[in-house]
Amino acid sequence: MSTAQLNRTSEAASVALHSVTEDRPWYAVQTRMRFEKKVFAQLEDKGIETFLPLIKQVHRWSDRRQVIEVALFPGYGFVRIPAAPDHRLRVLQTVGLTRFVTMNGTPIPVPEKQIEDVQLLLSGKLACRAYPFIKVGQRVRIRGGCLDGVEGILLSENKDYSLVISIGCIQRSLAVSINNFDVEPVGGYVGSMHSDWKTELRHAA
């Protein structure tokens, strides 16, 4: 096969993959509280692609302690399905699932980049935590390491730097410490941050 044919084949595959991704967006769904795992087990049994972000927490009692997995965003998870109404109906016909997250009655697709960033953070087994939803701060991108390319809002507190990643449609965020990572700014400022944030971050690392 010639180089030109290989290039055309590669381009066609790329277009096809992009089409599949666009035809099967991620959607946020809401569940009954503390029913997240049961709901998503049912969805997986139906063959529906899902993403339920989980983190480990230590629960302590007077005589023992136990590490358990809990939903990072209590009451929320994500499904990846075609946009057709019959696929949404299959999801809604799940015990414990209450609704799709919508705007004016229409389910809101979640940007794939946001899902990928959360998946990457959790797969790295870094210490993540739920964080109040924010919209302001310096937007940065991590360079290198296991979180290369992850974008979020940079926060500084007592020389401790965290990256906050937000899922806009459900108004939920998570934070991870990035003291040992290099970052670069993305776009312009969307809020007030210290002008020497990058120098301070390098010193903190």
Q: With a threshold of 0.85, does the pTM exceed it?
A: no
> Strand pairing partners for 177?
162
How many percent of the chain have pLDDT more than 90?
A: 48
Q: CA 12 to CA 27: how far, in whole Å?
A: 27
Structure tokens at 68: 């358990």
36: pLDDT strictly greater than 80: yes
Of 171, 172, 128, the closest CA to residue 147 belongs to: 128
189 and 124 within one domain: yes
Q: Which two tokens stand for residue 177?
A: 């410490």
Q: Among 167, 166, 168, 163, which Cα is nearest to 146's?
A: 163
- Residue range 51-62, pLDDT digits in tens: 999 998 887 877
Rounded CA-CA distance 116/145 in Å is 16
Same domain? 133 vs 145 = yes
Could you tell me where the beta strands, DSSP code E, fall in 114-187?
128-131, 138-143, 151-157, 160-167, 172-177, 182-185
102 and 167 within one domain = no
Contact 168, 113 (CB under 8 A): no
Same domain, 31 and 87: yes
120 and 182 co-located in one domain: yes
CATH code of residue 77: 3.30.70.940
Phi, psi angle pair for 98, to nearest 5°: -95, -40
Q: Domain count for the chain, please give it.
A: 2
Q: Which domain holds residue 99?
A: 22-110
- Alpha carbon distance 46, 169 (integer Å): 25
Q: Does residue 195 share a domain with residue 118? A: yes
169 & 146 share domain: yes
Of 110, 135, 158, the domain-final residue: 110
Q: Is 77 exposed, middle or buried (0-12, 13-18, 19+ CB in 10 A)?
A: buried
Tens digit of pLDDT for each residue in 65-88? 888 899 999 999 999 999 999 999
Are 31 and 95 part of one and the same domain? yes
Task: DSSP letter for 76, please.
Answer: E
124 and 197 both lie in a single domain: yes
